[in-house]
Structure 1
C-alpha cells in the first residue's frame, strides 16, 4: 500500500482528494460525473497524470469550488512546503464578485480545517443566504462586519470573534472601511 511521505510537499492532487473526501464523494461518483475513468481520476489525485484546464474546470464544478482555487496552486520552496505560506504566495479562492476577496492561509486542503484571510470591501453584501455543513470561527482583524446567523443580526468589529455552527448566515459590510476577518472552517469547503 502506498504510504504518504510527510516530507513530500502537498500537491494539486492531494488537494483534489481532500476536497472530494470532505464532500463525501467517492472516486467512482466523481469519475462518473466527469465522464472519466476511476483509474484516470485516481492517477490525477496521486499526481501521476495531469488534468487539462478543461478537466480542472469540470472537477471544480463537480466539487463546487472556484476554478481559481485549482489554478492558483503554487509550489512552495521544498524546505517550507506543507508548513509555511508566504504572504505573496497565498492562493486566492472564491470570487470577488460580491466584494469579498479570500486567500487561503492553510498550506493546502488536506487538514480537517482550512484558514482563510477574508477582505470584505466597503458597502459589499453577499446577497444570499449561505448554508454549508461546517463549523466556522471568525476573528475580525480590522473594520466592522454585520452578520445574520440563523435570522439573528450581529455586528462585529476589531478584536471580536464569532462562531457559525452548521447555521444559515449572511454577511454584509455597509461601512466605509474594508473589514478583514481570519476565518477557520471545518471541514474545508474550498
Structure 2
C-alpha cells in the first residue's frame, strides 16, 4: 500500500473487520453501537463477522455513529498505479451497501479528493427509500433509464430517461414503483461518500 495508516483507518480487507476496528478504536462495545443504531447486538455482530451485509441507510448511520465518511466503509478494487486518480474501470467501481433497500450505488469518481463526486445508482423495480434524507449538499441527477418518483421538499416529481433534477439542502425521498429498474448518475457536492 505504501501509505501510513493512522489509528482511525481500517487496514483489513472486509467491511466487518473494518467496522470492528473502527468501533474498538472509539472505545465502543457492540452494545453501545447497536443501541446508537437502533439495531440488535446480534445483527451488528453478524455484520462485523461478515455474515450479514448492511444496507446503504445502515452504512450511513454506522458512519455517522463512528464519525467517519461513508466512503471508508465501501469496498473497492485497487487500480493499476498509472490509472489511480484518473480512471475508474467499470469492473472496479466502489459498491456502496447491500442493495437491500433496492438501491445499488457505485462510486464513479476515482477518489474523494475533488469538490464533488459522481455516483451511478440503480433502483430496483418496486423499491423505495425507507427513510427520507437531508444532506448539506447540492446534487444533480440525470436519468439514464427507467422512471423514478421523487419527493424533493414538499413537491413530488416523476422523472424518466433524459430528465435531470437538482436537490439543494432539501429533504428528499425516491421510489421506483415501476416494473423495470431505473438508472441515474448523480453529481454531489461536496462529496458525502
> Given the two structures, how large is their TM-score scaled by the length of structure 2?
0.68
Answer yes or no: is the 8 Å Cα contact 2:138–2:166 preserved in 1: yes
Answer yes or no: is the 8 Å Cα contact 1:57–1:67 preserved in 2: no
What is the CA deviation profile of residues 97-146 of structure 1, one whole-angstrom value per residue up to 9, with x for unaligned ones? 21000000000111111100000000000122111100000000000011
Task: Give secondary structure in 2 for the equivalent of 1:103.
Answer: strand
CA distance in structure 2 between the partners assigned to 1:145 and 1:79 by the alignment: 38
Answer yes or no: is the 8 Å Cα contact 1:98–1:126 preserved in 2: yes
Q: CA RMSD in A?
A: 2.7
Structure 1 gaps, min length 5: 1-8, 14-38
Cα 1:94–1:186 change in 2 (3 A) is farther
Which residue is equivalent to 1:62? 67
Task: Give secondary structure in 1 for the equivalent of 2:135.
Answer: coil
Task: Give secondary structure in 1 for the equivalent of 2:70.
Answer: coil
Larger displacement relative to structure 2 (95-104 or 56-65): 56-65
Q: How many Å apart are 1:12 and its aligned residue? A: 10
Write out aligned runs for 1:27-106 (5 A).
40-41=7-8, 44=9, 50=11, 53=18, 54-56=20-22, 60=63, 61-63=66-68, 65=70, 68-69=73-74, 72-106=75-109
Matched, 1:165 2:131: no
Which residue is equivalent to 1:131? 134
CA distance in structure 2 between the partners assigned to 1:178 and 1:90 by the alignment: 19
Task: Give secondary structure in 2 for the equivalent of 1:102.
Answer: strand
Cα 1:148–1:76 change in 2 (3 A) is same
Number of equivalences? 149
